[in-house]
Structure 1
Amino acid sequence: MPQSSVSMAGQSSSVAVECDCLAHRLGNAADRAMRERQYPTDMTEAEWAVVRPLLPVPGWLRGRGGQPEAYCHRTMLDALRYLVDNGIKWRAMPADFPPWDRVYAFFRRWRDHALIAEFHDRLRAQARIRTGRDAEPTAGVIDSQSIKADAVVGADSRGYDGSLVECCLAALTLVLAIVKRSDDMRGFVVLPKRWIAERFFSVGCSPAASDSSSARTEGCPARRRPDHGTRSRRRYADSR
């Protein structure tokens, strides 16, 4: 999907543009008063400068029909950040944000068209490039919690299924290596590659890791998502 850095001609409003999002430049968001940013979750100018070029282009700008958007994209993202960080209900959205149903419609549209994952992938790629790494990870680490089987489960059906390794190779062209803890181990032992995931979450969830609310939201898996759904118990971390 195109990014919002494409150039489009014309504007639908004569009101002075105070934001450079597409809804302000080419939609009807400029007809509304600018919201004063006052919450810790509101994006800074530096954060917005990174996010702005990576936003997807709305369907109404790509000939898919629909009305030009009437609310600022930056304000919408700030509303979602506030909701996630504070764990509030949709209907409890503060009055200085757009109406809760408009914010939810914005989120639902992104969710249903897989734009959230696409936006996340763009941000991840940019962050990796800035640290001198490849845009796409060459390996991944999955740390899943082990669950004891019931006593009636036969020993031959316990443990990891070997077909999973074959399926990954055949369907995804990925080499899956399972790092298991030996039954003879006692105490804490660092296992190859497995510690990458443990280290990632221990730092991300530590109260001393950062005073930034956005850092706490991104680093700790216990934070609630905008759809208030349950979060998988699997944990992921990129590796070189």
Structure 2
Amino acid sequence: MTDRRRYPSDLSDARWALVEPTLTAWRQARTARALAFGRPPEHDLRDLLDAILYVDRTGIPWRYLPHDYPPHQTVYAHFARWQRDGVFEQLNGLLRRLVRASEGRDPEPTACIIDSQSVKTSTNAPAATQGVDVGNKIAGRKRNIDTDTIGLLLTVLVTAASVQDSTAGQHLLTAVAADHPTVRKTWADMGYKTAVIEHGATLGIDVEIVRRDPTTRGFVVQPRRWVVERTFGWLMNHRRLARDYEALPARSEAMIHVAMINLMTRRLTNETTPTWRGT
């Protein structure tokens, strides 16, 4: 790590210790190839991850990164490589298991909750990756997520906003069944219709639709589903996620993983997430 002024989004020593082995292993696996081309690693891994966290937390464009971070081209190149190599997903899985174990739970969940969130896009997003969510009257993309029962991310799928929840839900369940075979129960809202329930049955997952009481008026906390709604609230504390700024849906998914990595490392080290609310 270079000697520079620290930003609120930067990793503490304790948080860095949680993710350093994974990133170091990634670099070591590629060092031989880099040396073969005469390009040894030049930048500190911690500085690179700090820069990515800075973008995710503050919402700035890559080229607006402060100059005491590595060059923005280098930071984005590593962000893209880590996304393609599944490093963010690997870290998310590692940290999720640590959080669950620290709270006295089994490392792998047996139940989950699925939901979606439609968000507007920026001009960076190609038109082919966008759509219109007629129900919510939003043109852009849709974030479909699957969390465990304490709100930690299991799976994320970013699609055009026009993609139906029932279609995305089937993809989420397939991914959950493959990556988390212990899951046997899923809660969802009314948007996930018969096709999702039937698909879950073929995977050995019982999908239960949480129905709103028609006699209630105004906002009412829904059983089980409030957990995934809270997760969306956690994500929206990261200004890069207030709108979808990424050109590729896969990079949008990576930004969500980065936000969860930020949240879980703080949770494991009992560090609060600084906000600007009330300041």
Is residue 134 of structure 1 aligned with residue 106 of structure 2? yes
- Percent identical: 36
Q: Which residue of 2 aligns with 1:180?
A: 211
Q: Which residue of 2 aligns with 1:154?
A: none
CA contact (8 A) 1:42 1:81 kept: yes
Q: Which of 65, 72, 79 is the matching residue for 2:33?
A: 65
Q: Which residue of 1 aligns with 2:276?
A: none
Question: How far is 1:39 from its partner?
Answer: 1.1
CA contact (8 A) 1:179 1:194 kept: yes
Q: Which residue of 2 aligns with 1:165?
A: 197
CA contact (8 A) 1:165 1:175 kept: yes
Question: How far is 1:221 from its partner?
Answer: 8.8
- Computed over aligned residues only, the root mean square deviation of the Cα atoms, in angstroms, reads 3.5
Q: Which residue of 2 aligns with 1:43?
A: 11
Is residue 143 of structure 1 aligned with residue 115 of structure 2? yes
Q: Which residue of 2 aligns with 1:196?
A: 227
Distance 1:221 1:99 in 2: 19
Structure 1 stretches lacking a partner, 5+ long: 1-18, 20-33, 150-157, 207-215
Q: Which residue of 2 aligns with 1:10?
A: none
Distance 1:84 1:164 in 2: 32
Aligned residues: 180
CA contact (8 A) 2:113 2:228 kept: yes
Residues 13-46 of structure 1 show CA distances to partners (whole Å, capped at 9, x for unaligned) of: xxxxxx5xxxxxxxxxxxxxx2314211111112
Q: Which residue of 2 aligns with 1:103?
A: 75
Residues 183-238 of structure 1 show CA distances to partners (whole Å, capped at 9, x for unaligned) of: 34334444331233345556x489xxxxxxxxx43xx8944678466769xxxx9x
Taking structure 2 as the reference length, what is the TM-score of the superposition?
Answer: 0.53
Paired amino acid for 1:136 = E
CA contact (8 A) 2:47 2:69 kept: yes
Structure 1 residues 79 and 160: CA distance shift in structure 2, 3 A: closer
CA contact (8 A) 2:56 2:241 kept: no
Q: Which residue of 1 aligns with 2:176?
A: none
Question: How far is 1:126 from its partner?
Answer: 1.0
CA contact (8 A) 1:60 1:66 kept: no
Structure 2 stretches lacking a partner, 5+ long: 118-132, 137-189, 254-259, 261-279
Greater Cα radius of gyration, structure 1 or 2 = 1
Question: How far is 1:165 from its partner?
Answer: 0.9
Question: How far is 1:174 from its partner?
Answer: 2.1
CA contact (8 A) 1:85 1:223 kept: no
Structure number with the higher helix fraction is 2
Question: How far is 1:136 from its partner?
Answer: 1.8
Structure number with the higher strand fraction is 2
Q: Give the SS at the match of 1:140.
A: strand
CA contact (8 A) 2:55 2:240 kept: no
Distance 2:134 2:80 in 1: 34
CA contact (8 A) 1:141 1:197 kept: yes
Q: Which of 81, 86, 94 is the matching residue for 1:122?
A: 94
Taking structure 1 as the reference length, what is the TM-score of the superposition?
Answer: 0.61
**Where do residues 201-212 of structure 1 align in structure 2 (5 Å cutoff)?**
201=232, 204=234
Q: Give the SS at the match of 1:143.
A: strand
